[in-house]
Chain A
Amino acid sequence: MIDPIFILEAVVNGILLGGVLALLALGLNLIFGVIDIVWIAYVDLVALCMYAVYFLVTAYGWPLWLAGLGSIAVGAVLGALVHLLIITPILASPPINQLLATGGLLFFIQSAATLFWSTDHRSIRVSMPTLEVGGIFISFTRLLAFGLAIAAMIALYFFLTRTYTGTAIRAVSQDREAIALMGARPQRLYLVTSAVGGAMAGVAGALLIIQYAVHPYFGAAFGPLTFMICVLGGLGNMVGAFVAAFIMAQVISVGGVIVSTEMGYVIAFVIFIVLMFIRPGGIFARRA
């Protein structure tokens, strides 16, 4: 029998993991909701941002917070580039080609990272205290990452609801024909959305590198999970993705403690598949 305190600790860690997963899923979901294309390589962009932070800190001696801002800029530029170079030419192609074009990007990023930076696992050691609350140990690093992830999501929320561009982005996701009639240019909005989605990848990268080591196949490790969360929440549904991230994180974290790490993931994927049968449009889909 497992001591309940370990399970409680797993629950707390699950919540902290959920914050970061939610951030990963929101960026991907934003892009999907607006442009209607799934970026299979999204988490690989996050990995590139992690590399950016790592090298800015270790090779150029930037302080971590500044490197984090640098990572956001790198992410935004990468997002815009992916849109201009890969997505724009295939906007009218069948969905499978769109999916596979970013899938090609996935192979490209993974192997280019191997080429340039080898398969070494790289991490930034941040020495921060571990908090103890009622017998539960919580890593301060994770708590900080959780707090910043929530802050980034709130910032995204305000951007989408309180600014003119944000409102236009939400409008284009609702009706892409009507938005052109309203005098906004969808192409420009797509570009802004991709850059914002990329910037979210930059935030996620900065928050992940202080908890996990980055390696060329980092995207492969977190990618499928991120899609699961987006699909579970309902593609394009922000609130759904947020809730789904916490559900999946709990299953993985608690399942990992009770059975084993891999089985935690297996259980999460199986629950995902079963939930998809019960609610095919995501857990928050309105019934047709």
Chain B
Amino acid sequence: MTPLRVVGLLALVALAVVPVLPLGAAQEYIWHVIIQIFLWSFVGNAWSLMGRFGLVSLGHGAFLGVGAYATVLFWNFYGMTPWIGGALAIVITVILALVVAYPCSRFQVVGHYFALVTPAVGEVIRLLSVAERDWTGGSLGVTLKTGGTASGWWTLQFADKRVFYYVGLVAWLFGLWVWWRVDRSMARSAMEAIGEDETAAASVGIRVTRFKMAITALSAALTALGGTLLALYLAYANPDTLSGIGVSLRIVFAVVLGGMYSLLGPFVGTALTIALSEYLRIYFGIHFIGIAETIYGLLLMIFIIFLPAGIYGSLAEAARRRLTRSPAGVAVRT
């Protein structure tokens, strides 16, 4: 794997020096797009921690929303620094996740039922943030109050996008590291066994509920952190862009498009979907409102029908098969 490691290191160096490159007038925009890719890939990675073990959640918008709103509201109303506000937001999100996940696990809400219960959680958060409009600004969203002179590391508000570029990069790498740790751990084998057959897993001594709760808490915490970072970067939170079923589906799409069983799958999927929608948006501009999204939806369907293992997943699998010449079934998750 040495050549791969070299390529990876070179790519990392390339990403690290992007902000110092002279990119001309469009540089702010390019940074903006890459920051979004970092942050949404991080969220996608967090989702795939559950998704890869058969815990298909269509409600991660709830965690994202709580993370974002709690951070913004703690700052706006109590002047609490996002360091503490964000930490509290993560704690609140994990509690929410466990309150929902514990009964789900105990009462065996699995498969289709799990996938269709989770969006209700996302909808509850979305509707609550619309209903509690006195604090949350309702469906108009809420703007992060500026820190004024106190801008900087205390308020985590930066006029310079490059700071967020590095924050996003570090967050993304952190997400990959967590994914990699889970992938290399005993928990992975246990979770895969649970995903295949809960009763069988329990019968060989795997503590089904404990493992499910742990992976859910981890996934929710990281998603909430993603919500916090997105809210701080955008300085704005909106019920439709950060909670509810639309954003939940978008996260899942990006991950499945890239490939949810691979380390870089979420990144590839997110980078492609964001690049595609940005490209279509610029290409069509203000003409034909909606056409960019229309093509996006069409391409999503085509990709999912013809590349069921995801783009990165399919490529990685093909490459590995060529290298090892082992049967496809064995190579999929090794």
Residues of A within 8 A of B (CB): 38, 40, 86, 89-90, 93-97, 99-101, 103-116, 118, 216, 220, 223-224, 227-228, 230-231, 235, 260, 262-263, 265-266, 269-270, 272-273, 276-278, 280-281
Q: A273-B100, A280-B107 are in contact. Are A95 and B112 (CB under 8 A)?
A: yes
Judge whether A38 and B112 touch: CB under 8 Å: yes
* Across-interface contacts of A272 in B (CB, < 8 A): 117, 120
Q: Is B86 an interface residue (CB 8 A)?
A: no
* Across-interface contacts of A266 in B (CB, < 8 A): 124, 127-128, 131
State the CA gap A281–B58 with chains docked (Å). 19
Kindly list 19 other residue pairs between chains A and B, CB separation below 8 angstroms, not including A100-B300, A104-B253, A231-B112: A100-B252, A100-B304, A104-B301, A107-B296, A107-B300, A108-B301, A109-B297, A113-B290, A115-B289, A115-B290, A224-B123, A227-B119, A231-B117, A260-B131, A266-B128, A269-B123, A277-B109, A278-B107, A280-B108
Please list 18 pairs of residues, one from A and one from B, whose beta carbons are closer than 8 Å in the complex, sorted by A's number.
Answer: A90-B308, A94-B308, A95-B111, A96-B252, A99-B56, A100-B300, A101-B301, A110-B293, A112-B294, A114-B289, A114-B290, A114-B293, A227-B119, A266-B124, A272-B117, A273-B121, A276-B113, A277-B106
State the CA gap A109–B103 with chains docked (Å). 35
Judge whether A106 and B127 touch: CB under 8 Å: no
Judge whether A106 and B249 touch: CB under 8 Å: yes
Judge whether A224 and B119 touch: CB under 8 Å: yes
Judge whether B252 and A111 touch: CB under 8 Å: no
Specify which of A115, A116, A231, A263 is in contact with B116 (CB 8 Å cutoff). A231
State the CA gap A247–B112 with chains docked (Å). 22
State the CA gap A235–B112 with chains docked (Å). 9
Q: How many residues of B are in contact with the other chain, CB < 8 A?
A: 47
Which residue of chain A has the shortest Cβ distance to B249 in the bound complex? Answer: A103
A-B contact count (CB 8 A): 147
* Across-interface contacts of A278 in B (CB, < 8 A): 107
State the CA gap A114–B293 with chains docked (Å). 9
* Across-interface contacts of B121 in A (CB, < 8 A): 269, 273
- Interface residue SS majority, chain A: helix
Which residue of chain B has the shortest Cβ distance to A223 in the bound complex? Answer: B245
* Across-interface contacts of A281 in B (CB, < 8 A): 113
Judge whether A86 and B127 touch: CB under 8 Å: no
Could you tell me the distance in whole angstroms from the C-beta of B130 to the nearest C-beta in chain A? 5
Q: Is B305 an interface residue (CB 8 A)?
A: yes
Q: A104-B304, A262-B130, A266-B124 are in contact. Are A277 and B107 (CB under 8 A)?
A: yes
Which residue of chain B has the shortest Cβ distance to A273 in the bound complex? Answer: B120
Specify which of A93, A105, A110, A270 is in contact with B301 (CB 8 Å cutoff). A105
Within residues 278 to 318 of chain B, which ones have a CB less than 8 A from any CB in chain A? 288-294, 296-298, 300-301, 304-306, 308
Judge whether B56 and A101 touch: CB under 8 Å: no
Could you tell me the distance in whole angstroms from the C-beta of A230 to the nearest C-beta in chain B? 8
Judge whether A101 and B305 touch: CB under 8 Å: yes
Judge whether A280 and B113 touch: CB under 8 Å: yes
State the CA gap A262–B139 with chains docked (Å). 11
* Across-interface contacts of B106 in A (CB, < 8 A): 277
Judge whether B290 and A111 touch: CB under 8 Å: yes
Which residue of chain A has the shortest Cβ distance to B131 in the bound complex? Answer: A262
